[in-house]
Structure 1
Amino acid sequence: MSNPTDSLLLKRQPSRWLGGLIIFMTMLGCMALYRSALPPVPAALCAVLLWAYCFWVWPRQVSLRHADSVTGLRFDSQGWHILRRDGTEMGAWLLADTYVSALLTVVRLRQPGRWLPISVILPADAATEDSLRRLRLRLRFSRQRWAAAE
């Protein structure tokens, strides 16, 4: 007999907390470069690289406007699935270094055929409260949490 709570669908939404944190950390890194003993040219190059990374991450993790950004996670009897903005859905394995807390959840997944894992950063405002609670419970207490989707 199947339990209706065996499936989980989390729809992700843009996060103000994550956006503020990324901008704050980028500015903090630039201030550290300014106060460091580096010559001005390498420090300016590092600052440009910091801001370039911030602008690369923003559409993928904060505003979710990039075609490859993860807009949802689904767990069912077949395992974990990644839902992307372009409408594709791919199966994935949950990695053991997934982090779960009340304010921040970082879901680490590996897709077949991809070299690098995918990190889905979920602060408290990134989805509805109920779906985040169900995801945290699934990640903490599930016996099949590292099951691969078929």
Structure 2
Amino acid sequence: MYSPSDTLLLRRQPSRWLGALLILLTLLGCVALYQSAMPALPALVCGLLLWFHCLWIWPRQVSLRHADSVTGLRFDQEGWHVLRRDGSEAGARLQADTFVSALLTVVRLREPGRLLPVSVILPADAATEDSLRRLRLRLRFSRQRWAAAE
């Protein structure tokens, strides 16, 4: 039976699965560009944009080495909080398009004062098994899941 506790703390760690998936999809995109009937120069520009995107995402979502990368999530009586690598913590509101499954959880949070929501991609190896299980239970069954942090 689900028994919610007052707090949930999830510490995120670098994910090998997410890194492998990112590289595989970037390579598949480049192969698709190569196989297409697109002229060489636009195909090269699109391929470079794919690799630029891969290099931009890597420190923020895979290796978690960027100062702005999300290294943890916390839920307590005040709502959701985003913990960053630089030590900062910000309150956030959970978005309705959060995705929860056994292999992949994508938590979408909106921080006050930021234009775009924050996406935290959590494959099965991105945190401890117990903390991911507790997060999935919180996201699926909590009545207070949409509560904003104050």
TM-score by length of 2: 0.97
Matched, 1:91 2:91: yes
**Shift in Å, 1:119:** 0.2
Q: Which runs of 5+ in 1 are unaligned?
A: none
Residue matched to 1:42: 42
Q: Residues of 2 paired with 1:55 and 1:43: CA distance?
A: 18
Residue matched to 1:128: 128
Q: Residues of 2 paired with 1:68 and 1:112: CA distance?
A: 16
Runs of 4+ residues deviating >3 angstroms = none
SS in 2 for 1:131: helix
RMSD: 1.0
Residue matched to 2:14: 14
Q: Residues of 2 paired with 1:110 and 1:99: CA distance?
A: 15
Residue matched to 1:66: 66
SS in 1 for 2:92: strand
Q: Does structure 1 retain, via aligned residues, the 8 Å contact 2:4–2:138?
A: no
Q: Residues of 1 paired with 2:37 and 2:143: CA distance?
A: 51
Instruction: Read off the aligned partner of 1:32 and give its amino acid letter.
Output: A
**Shift in Å, 1:4:** 7.5
Residue matched to 1:107: 107
Aligned residues: 148
Q: Residues of 2 paired with 1:126 and 1:92: CA distance?
A: 21
SS in 2 for 1:5: coil
Q: Which runs of 5+ in 2 are unaligned?
A: none
Q: Does structure 1 retain, via aligned residues, the 8 Å contact 2:64–2:71?
A: yes
SS in 2 for 1:127: coil
